[in-house]
Amino acid sequence: MKTLETCQTLDAQDPLRPLRDLFSLPEGVIYLDGNSLGVLPKTAAARVAEVVTEEWGQGLIRSWNSAGWFDMPQRMGDKIATLIGADAGEVVATDSTSINLFKVLSAALSMVQQDAPQRKIIVSERSNFPTDLYIAQALCAERGFKLQLVEPEEIAASLTDEVAVLMLTHVNYRTGAMHDMAAITQLAHAAGTLTVWDLAHSAGAVPVALKADGADFAVGCSYKYLNGGPGAPAFVWVNPIHAERFWQPLAGWWGHAAPFAFTPDYQPAPGINRYLCGTQPILSMAALECGLDTFAAAQALGGMAALRQKSLALTDLFMELVEQRCAGYGLGLVTPREHSQRGSQVCLTRQSGAFAIVQALIARGVIGDFRAGDGQVHPDILRFGFTPLYIGFEDVWNAVEHLKQVLESGEWQAPEFNQKHTVT
């Protein structure tokens, strides 16, 4: 049985431990919600202040050239590319995940309408993140397609000759379950179907190999495991074999081949640059770069492989301790135990009180979050994310100790922990 001393020893032996010092972690907080919003890199505040006071305040419009503002989407994109199995020049950081999904899904549907117009179905997982489903619903209504929702075990059988696109999130936001990207993409291509992957819960948390796995399109956000800050620009990747086949639907001036020619007609930029649209949020880009630069430090200590190894050790430990120390309190586990089938989070269930238990933990400084079920197939979730850049093994022990105390004392039943706010 693991003890507090065991966890402290694991921290002392952890080669990634120095990375924790790159982040501003509030005193008294165990932060297990980096899968929703990553913590602040220590360099970010000063860097954003520098952009405001020097580059904007003194450089003014000259900074588009002198400070490299104009090339930020490509520069951030190249840094993200190293984390998702893409090459330089294939990724841009821009817009939001929802907007980027609209772009790539629209382009994918245009390809299908040209190559196989009889295919009229988009398949996705029923528990996919809702914004992905909403974007797909809107495009289906506009283009005359149908959205078909299935359970994970039904995906293979759903890939009929009517399916145009398979749209999946690599790591499920509710359960932490991870799809086998290579195997599913191979199945989809064998069925004549294009793949669109959302990497929101995998970029920076698990190794991703978009090109090696043969994916067609991918999007993702940067404010979770990439620590880019609230509302940080998202990213978009298109397999180079598809990148120049179609315009994306938001044909803005930043995606023009020569934006400062100011011609009245749109001519798309080559490659991934056509997936840009309007003027970029430079302050947010500067903060994002600070988050991405922490991965450069991690690279010197083993990179994504080492981060993944630690992530699995942290989540294994959390599951083991919850089962040992919180037995008898009605907690279930929906996150797969198999390493190859899970991301970097652990999701627990309880028939009642899940929301209030999370709120009681937050009041103690253990920050996770709650995701509501549907009252039928999918239960309520107590969700805990483990970012190996800054979470340690003693953090895991202490988090489970607080969970045990919350359950034993019944403090979660207090009225203040049962009041829902707008953001859960």
Task: Tell me which residues are annotated as active site.
Answer: 129, 198, 223-224, 383
Q: Are 36 and 54 in contact (CB under 8 A)?
A: no
Task: Retrieve residue 277's tokens.
Answer: 């649209």
* Cα dihedral 179, 230, 369, 22 sign: positive
Q: Are 39 and 24 in contact (CB under 8 A)?
A: yes
Residue 335's CB is within 10 A of a number of other CB atoms, namely: 25
CA distance 404 to 90: 47
Task: Retrieve residue 140's tokens.
Answer: 């289906």
CA distance 245 to 260: 24
CA distance 198 to 124: 11
CA distance 189 to 180: 14
CA distance 388 to 10: 13
Backbone angles phi, psi at 125, to 5 degrees: -80, 140
Q: To which residue do tokens 């299908």 refer?
A: 112
